Every structure is written in structure tokens, then in C-alpha cells.
Chains A and B, each alone.
Chain A
Amino acid sequence: MELSVNDHNTFVYTGGKPFSADIPTVVFIHGAQQDHSCWLLQSRWFAHHGYGVLAPDLPGHGRSDGTPLTSVEALADWIVALLDDLGIQRAGLIGHSMGSMIALDAASRHAARVAAIALIATSVPMPVSPALLGAAKDDEPRAMNMVNVWSHSPHGHNGLCAVPGIWMYAANLRLMQRQKPGVMHIDLAACNAYARGSDATAQVRCPTLVLAGARDQMTSPKVARSLASSIAGAKLVMLEGAGHAMMTEEPDKVLDTLRDFFTANLAAAS
């Protein structure tokens, strides 16, 4: 569906069903240089199992108008604005990579609006190497190649996608290539600059899931483990063999983990 958020036309995938604000809402927040379709193998299930699904293309990404927002805090506020527009008081937030920091920040500063958070392939802080940041600024194809190589586990470089016939290595690259020029540097700079991590982790009180890939080269599983230990009551799930692109590398494990977490913390409508 399309709606206006902060005066910009915004595309929101709703999981193949019309969105209903009358049932528990989960928001899927994509990472840098991505769009809603990175959640293909998780969001559709939620929409057909008692949840209202919102998988927006963040400003300036995918089909959404506007320019990319330059800070994690602004993106977290934008998520809350999206909830406001739809009259939703509380929602579960699921974020991948940059999206995980957005979810964390929203949960820390808008606690009343966030019922639970799932942080996938996360790291707080999320420093981006100067080489990658520089490439994102001056040579986007090179930066996309770097991210694509690092986003896949050794297993992922061989493929074996759960969706028959999809070569996920190229699929991830094409999705990045679809974003508008300049988006990548803005996103990565926002990740790199996020400095509220310690405060945010200390402030979060809602149920929290940290879902990490043991072979993640983009966001270290060690940092994810440390993050989980610093958030009160957080649950850590480590997927052996999974890389940063775990939603396509291990879609069923990611979905099952999310399903169990939200069943316990934000029950679906019956």
C-alpha cells in the first residue's frame, strides 16, 4: 500500500494481505541499501498468521519518495510517524542490520510505542570501515560488491536458496543496485555515526531478541552476543553457519525464531 509519511509518498508492503490496525502489528525494517523485499520469506508468513504487517521502503529507498534520512534517530522517529499515520499505538519492530539499530533506538526513546524488538544481524555500535564508507561515497559498484561478498557466509557463496531457482548472491546485489545513487553512503554513514548505542541498550525495557549469524562478516556475532548481555532480559539466538544475509540464507530458522519470539511477546490475533 502507499501512504504519506512526513509528506512523502511511502510504499509499505503488507505481506500479501490488506493491512489491519485491529490486530497486533509488526514492522519489518530493512537495512542499508535494501528495500522491503529482503523480508520476503518472513513477512508474508506473519501477515497470514494473525499479524498486521508493515514492511516499508524507508524514505528514498525502493518505491518510497523523499531522500534518505541521515541518522538512525531520524529513522526511528520516522517509524513512529508511520505508526501515527495508521493510528497504531504499539507495535513489534523487527530490524535487520541498520534496521536493527532503528528498532533499538525507537524502543529506547519511544518505549510506549514499542511492544517488542527483534534485532537481526546487529551490532551496536556499528562502525563502518573507512574503505567501505569511502567506496560508498566514490565508487558505489565497488561498495556493493564489498557488502555482497561480506554479507554471505561460505555456504551462501554456493547458493542453495530455499526459494527454488533463486541465485541469492546476484539477487542481493541486484536489490542494492536498484537503490538510487547516493543512498548507500547516507545509510552507511548513519550506521557509522550512531552514538546512542550504550544509552539505548540501557534504556530498553521491552522484550528483546538478538538474532545473530555465527558466520556474519558484516556485524560481528561477538558484538551481538555482548549486546544481548547488555539489554535487560534479552534473548540471544545464534544461527550456526549463517551470514549477514540470513533472511535468505536461513529463512526458515529466522522465521521460526521470530515466530516463537512474537508468539511469546506479542501474541497474534486468533
Chain B
Amino acid sequence: MAEPKSYSFDTLSLHAGQVPDTQYGARATPIYLTTSFVFKSPDQAAELFNMERGGHLYSRISNPTNAVLEERIAALEGGVGAIATASGQAALHLAIVTLMDGGSHIVASRALYGGSHNLLEYTLPRFGIATTFVDPRDLAAWRAAIRPETRLLFGETLGNPGLDVLDIPSVAEIAHEHQVPLLVDATFTTPYLQRPLDLGADLVYHSATKFLGGHGIAIGGLLVDGGVFDWEASGKFPTLTEPYAGFHGMDFAEETPIAAFQFRARREGLRDFGACMSPMTAFQILQGIETLPLRMARHVENARKVVAHLVAHAAVANVAYPELPGHPDHALAQKLLPKGCGSVFSFTLKGGRQAGKKFIEALRVFSHLANVGDAKSLVIHPASTTHFRMPDEAMVAAGIHPGTIRLSVGLEDADDLVEDLNRGLAAALKA
């Protein structure tokens, strides 16, 4: 007997969460650009509001187009469900506020996207939530930073910008020893390269703005619930395991032990904080996800060619790409990221800050802007943009030097990209 199986990744990228529209047979996902949904009757309205039936009420809380996107990313990540948010930052915020109150504590990798770092370091302390930052490679530091009030461990699959590979199985084990979940930002890898939930993470989020969309036209976030963490057994998450006066006294873990997190996140977090995704954005990101497997394979192929060229160039001091034998996480990357380490990485020019500026000015194909994961190749000089608020010492500690350049290698012809980089490298040598 052939082993029964459901659809594979590439098929789910195209079909998960959607069947042809039953009214008109539309093959593409319809865009339900509506704020609200007409009730069939007063009774049905009451049933929806009281969660006696599933359905849509108001597009801040849910929308049919968004729901397709949510199911699709959940399917690709292997989660029980997902929530579409206004941005990746909104997804991170939603995860945190669903899990904890003032007085709580987070242990986070210090190799984070600058926006995430800002939220944890400067903004959340105003609301009584403190964060301890640790070297993501130092497992003892993760363990040592955990306090009685710790409610979350958090890191990026590939740390920004040095591409520190998060040892998800080991960090998840530490989290679970202390009955707290591990949240992972998987923006740089997408589920095509790695599925953090399979490795032990409990929650995953994406800036869907990046590779999932791929086109660079829409800002959005996606928060995926793995459905494995036992909130009841942990005893540390009253938002999920005790009656919530704000929603009919609902005990979310009692209603559904596997989807308690995302039920609370939607019924409270989207409802009250309101950082929802537009249905138009959901449609645009869906169009990107349809080709995610094809694009990610090409991103990785091009990145490898660019990395090989940079490593051999006289203007380059070093390249931080985990597939290189000299990268500190080379062995871990081979184990956890066998399909590739993505196409966002940094390299450092020998000439420092001035060389960095000359390099960028000489480029024609790479676009100088603050984004990654576009189909088009992108470049940025972190010291003068994304990390400009960080003191030099903190930047160096996070692996960023004055001459560090971050590339997001796109889908153009790899030879054209190499030629463009050669222009910049020649300019850098003259700086």
C-alpha cells in the first residue's frame, strides 16, 4: 500500500486555503475589499459574535482574502493557523502582547533587525516589558538570562546582519525547560528554506513584505501558531488559560488547546490593537507566495554565485555567509539550512565607511534602499541607515562594521549582478 500523503510544499504554495470561488468559479483568490459582512439574521449575528460559529464580522478581525493567506502560510510552515498583520513589526508586537503583561521579561538574540531591537530595547520597557539580549550562539547565555518572569525567547532564523544561524532545536529546548515558548522571525529564510516549527520553535512570524511577497509592493506580517506548546501545563500564561472578561469569560485553552494562542491574538489583539492587514495586501502577498519555491531556489543560486565572487575579490575583507567554511555557524547551517542560507548577507569592504559610500554610488543594478527580499537586487550600508541609532560598540558587537554592506540578491541574471558589483568594488578600491 502506498503511504497516504497530502499535498507537498510546492502544491500548497498555490492551493492551500483556497478552492475556486463557489459563486462565479473564479480561479484566483477574490479580493474581498469590504470592511464588514452582512448578517443573515440577528440570531446568526449573535452566534458569530459569541464564537458559536465560524465566519467573518469585520475586516479588522478577519477577512476571507486574508484568511486564504493565513491558511496558506500556516500550511507552508506546518502550523495550526496564522494571523495576517499590518507589518512584520505588528506581528511581533501581537505575539508579545498576547503572551504577557507589564512586569514580564523576554530573552532575545542580540542579532536582530533594527526595528525589532528598537521595540524591545526602547519601546516595550515603557510598558513594563524588559528584554535581555544575548549572543545567539551562546547557549549558556540564553539559559542564564531566563528569570522567573521570563515569558518568551526570541531570535531570527538568520540573525541580522551577520547571518548568525539560530540553533533552534537547542534554544527551543532551553525555552521548554523553563515552560516558555520560542518565537522565531523567519523572514530571511521563509518556509522554503527552513520550517522552524519542525525544529522545535513554537511561534513563527514573517515580515511578509520581503520574500513571501517578493515584489516589494506591499507591507505585511504573518504570525503562525505551531499549536504544540502546552499553555495549560506551563501555567505561566493566564491570558490563554484563565477566563477573559473581555470576551464572554472565554478560557481559550479550554476552547481549543491547540489554537488558544491564535484565538486570543485575533479576538483580543487584532480587535483591540487593530494592526490588521488590508485584503488588497493579502492578495498581493498571495501572488508572491504562489512562486515562492521557484524564487527562493533562484535567490539562493544567485546568492551563491555572488558570494563566490566577493570572497575572491581584493576589495573585500570578509563575507558573512554561513555556507562559507569560515563562517562561525557553517556546521550548524549545513544541518539546519541544507537548502541554502537565503540571499541576504553582508560583506565588509577593506576601506571602511568611505569605501562603503563609493561602492554604493557606483552601482547600477542594485537599488540602494532599506528593504530586503525583493525580486530585484538591493543594497544598503547599515552604518548610515538601519542601524544609525546604535552606538559603534553595539554595532560591532552585532557584527556590523563601518564598511559593512548588506546585499539582498535578487532574481536578475547572476552575471549582470557580478558585473554591477565589480563597478562598486572598483570604486571602493579607489576610495
CB-contact partner of A16 in B61, B82, B230, B255, under 8 A: B255
Cα of A251 to Cα of B48 in the assembled complex, Å:
13
Q: Are A149 and B4 in contact (CB under 8 A)?
A: yes
Q: Are A159 and B83 in contact (CB under 8 A)?
A: no
Cα of A107 to Cα of B54 in the assembled complex, Å:
31
Chain A interface: which of B67-75, B100-108, B362-370, B408-416? B67-75
Q: Are B53 and A255 in contact (CB under 8 A)?
A: yes
Q: In angstroms, how far is the closest chain A Cβ from the Cβ of B282?
A: 11
Q: Are A37 and B50 in contact (CB under 8 A)?
A: no
Residues of A within 8 A of B5 (CB): 145, 149
Interface hits, A153-194 → B, CB 8 Å: 155, 157-167, 169-171, 174-175, 177-178
Q: Are A166 and B80 in contact (CB under 8 A)?
A: yes
Instruction: Known A13-B254, A174-B227, A174-B228; judge A160-B259 contact (CB<8 A).
Output: no
Interface hits, B218-235 → A, CB 8 Å: 227-228, 230, 232
A62 CB within 8 Å of chain B: yes
CB-contact partner of A169 in B19, B75, B248, B258, under 8 A: B75
Residue of A nearest to B250 (CB): A16
Q: Are B4 and A170 in contact (CB under 8 A)?
A: no
Q: Are B56 and A158 in contact (CB under 8 A)?
A: no
B1 CB within 8 Å of chain A: yes
Residues of A within 8 A of B7 (CB): 157
Q: In angstroms, how far is the closest chain A Cβ from the Cβ of B151?
A: 22
Instruction: Known A45-B52, A131-B1, A251-B54; judge A149-B6 contact (CB<8 A).
Output: yes
Q: Are A44 and B4 in contact (CB under 8 A)?
A: no
Cα of A37 to Cα of B253 in the assembled complex, Å:
10
Instruction: Known A155-B19, A174-B227; judge A162-B53 contact (CB<8 A).
Output: yes
A40 CB within 8 Å of chain B: yes
CB-contact partner of B53 in A177, A178, A251, under 8 A: A251
Cβ proximity bits B1-17 to A, threshold 8 Å, 1 near / 0 not: 10111110000000111
CB-contact partner of A45 in B47, B55, B56, B249, under 8 A: B47
B381 CB within 8 Å of chain A: no
Q: Are A159 and B17 in contact (CB under 8 A)?
A: yes
- A-B CB pair tally, cutoff 8 Å: 136
Residues of B within 8 A of A35 (CB): 257
Q: In angstroms, how far is the closest chain B Cβ from the Cβ of A156?
A: 9
Interface of B is mostly: loop
B78 CB within 8 Å of chain A: yes
Cβ proximity bits B88-125 to A, threshold 8 Å, 1 near / 0 not: 00000000000000000000000000000000000000
Q: Are A178 and B257 in contact (CB under 8 A)?
A: yes
Instruction: Known A63-B232, A174-B227; judge A41-B19 contact (CB<8 A).
Output: no
Cβ proximity bits B237-264 to A, threshold 8 Å, 1 near / 0 not: 0000000000011100011111100100
Q: Are A48 and B52 in contact (CB under 8 A)?
A: yes
B422 CB within 8 Å of chain A: no
Residues of A within 8 A of B82 (CB): 165, 167
Chain A residues bordering chain B, tally (CB within 8 A): 41
Chain B residues bordering chain A, tally (CB within 8 A): 52
Q: In angstroms, how far is the closest chain B Cβ from the Cβ of A117?
A: 22
Q: Are B17 and A171 in contact (CB under 8 A)?
A: no
Q: Are A167 and B16 in contact (CB under 8 A)?
A: yes
Interface hits, A194-231 → B, CB 8 Å: none
Q: Are B262 and A169 in contact (CB under 8 A)?
A: no
B213 CB within 8 Å of chain A: no
Instruction: Known A16-B250, A63-B232, A165-B74; judge A160-B62 contact (CB<8 A).
Output: no
Residue of A nearest to B56 (CB): A164
Q: Are A170 and B75 in contact (CB under 8 A)?
A: yes
CB-contact partner of A165 in B1, B18, B70, under 8 A: B70
B136 CB within 8 Å of chain A: no
Q: Are A165 and B262 in contact (CB under 8 A)?
A: yes
User: B53, B61, B83, B84 — which one has the most chain A CB atoms within 10 A of its CB?
Assistant: B53
Instruction: Known A35-B257, A62-B257, A165-B262; judge A159-B71 contact (CB<8 A).
Output: yes
Residues of A within 8 A of B17 (CB): 158-160, 167
CB-contact partner of A159 in B66, B75, B84, B262, under 8 A: B75
Q: Are B232 and A164 in contact (CB under 8 A)?
A: no
Cβ proximity bits B35-76 to A, threshold 8 Å, 1 near / 0 not: 000000000000100111111100001111011101100110
Residues of A within 8 A of B4 (CB): 145-146, 149-150
B159 CB within 8 Å of chain A: no
Q: Are B257 and A171 in contact (CB under 8 A)?
A: no
27 contacts between A and B (CB under 8 A): A13-B254, A16-B50, A37-B257, A37-B258, A40-B256, A45-B53, A48-B50, A48-B52, A146-B3, A150-B4, A158-B15, A160-B19, A160-B71, A164-B266, A165-B62, A165-B70, A167-B17, A167-B75, A167-B79, A167-B81, A169-B75, A170-B227, A171-B81, A174-B80, A177-B228, A251-B53, A252-B53
